[in-house]
């Protein structure tokens, strides 16, 4: 079974750190290169919201996005309406859409659900971790480390999502992968820009390789504990909050 593909584009690193208005810095390819324009716009805007490039409370208008992406208003409007259904934005009459706020308590609930879903899968995988995907997962872990060392936050996030999706995909449960990916898209990681070059980002990135070592060694309890802690960073380091050592 093929692991479901995760298509989530992030804004450029410069757009996260230079103060450039996010609407002018969204990472988007020319419309002629896109096979599914609405989905591409939706993924681009969602990624900007998740990474904090589009902040809670910020207004986004359909005409402005259409001009930025050099497309008609129709696919933009469709994308924004779907993002509204997913809880990313809320409509503002005669103005467009406002980015919604996700509270710390909501983040904690997302983390708890992810831990309930992902940790048992990791424990099961450690009992009999297949050989075939190991090289690809190790390569993704290496890419995560490299992105962390380079301070390339958008790449870090994109490869991190791919790593987790492929790992969970080994369970053979595509619905599970879709649910967890959807939960990740509802997350707000407001502390990420401050983590660039930090020891915390380095430690978080290394946990992927550490997890693979534990899985290959069949250490189920230790692998499960590491995954539980790793997901918990969403309401710790990744939210700009301290964590216990």
How much is the pLDDT for 13? 36
CATH number at residue 72: 1.10.10.10
Q: Residue ranges of the alpha helices (H) in 173-198? A: 174-185, 192-195
Weakly modelled stretches of the chain, pLDDT under 50: 1-22, 25, 28-35, 245
Total domains in the fold of the chain: 2
Q: In this structure, what CATH number is given to the domain that contains residue 194? A: 1.20.120.530
Do 87 and 148 lie in one domain? The reply is no
Helix orientation angle between 104-127 and 174-185, rounded to the nearest 10 degrees = 150
Domain final residue, candidates 71, 99, 127: 99
Give this prediction's pTM. Answer: 0.72
Q: What pLDDT score does 237 carry? A: 58
User: According to the model, what pLDDT value does residue 6 have?
Assistant: 33
201-243 pLDDT, tens digit each: 788 889 999 999 999 999 999 999 999 999 998 886 555 555 6
Q: What is the largest CA-CA distance in the chain?
A: 58
Residue range(s) defining the domain that contains residue 53: 13-99
pLDDT, residue 197, reads 66
Residue 205: both structure tokens together: 């990135």
Alpha-carbon gap, residue 74 to 61, rounded angstroms? 13
For the chain, the residue count is: 245
Structure tokens belonging to residue 147? 């992105």
> Please, what is the average pLDDT of the chain?
81
CB 58 within 8 A of CB 98: yes
């Amino acid at each position: 079974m093929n692991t479901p593909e995760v298509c989530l584009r992030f804004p450029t690193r410069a757009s996260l750190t230079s103060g450039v208005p996010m609407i002018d810095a969204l990472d988007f390819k020319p419309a002629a290169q896109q096979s599914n324009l609405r989905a591409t716009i939706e993924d681009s805007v969602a990624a900007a919201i998740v990474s904090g490039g589009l902040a809670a409370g910020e207004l986004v208008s359909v005409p402005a996005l259409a001009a930025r992406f050099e497309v008609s208003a129709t696919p933009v409007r469709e994308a924004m309406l779907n993002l509204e259904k997913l809880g990313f934005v809320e409509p503002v009459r005669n103005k467009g859409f406002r980015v919604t706020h996700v509270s710390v308590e909501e983040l904690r609930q997302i983390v708890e659900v992810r831990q309930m879903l992902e940790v048992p899968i990791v424990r099961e995988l450690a009992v009999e971790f297949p050989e075939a995907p190991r090289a690809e997962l190790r390569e993704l872990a290496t890419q995560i480390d490299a992105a962390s060392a380079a301070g390339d936050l958008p790449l870090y996030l994109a490869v991190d999502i791919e790593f987790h999706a492929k790992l969970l995909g080994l369970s053979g449960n595509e619905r599970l992968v879709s649910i967890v990916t959807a939960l990740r898209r509802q997350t707000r990681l407001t502390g990420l820009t401050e983590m660039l070059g930090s020891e915390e980002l380095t430690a978080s990135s290394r946990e992927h390789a550490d997890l693979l070592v534990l899985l290959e060694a069949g250490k189920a309890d230790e692998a499960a504990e590491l995954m539980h802690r790793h997901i918990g960073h969403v309401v710790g380091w990744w939210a700009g909050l301290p964590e216990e050592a």
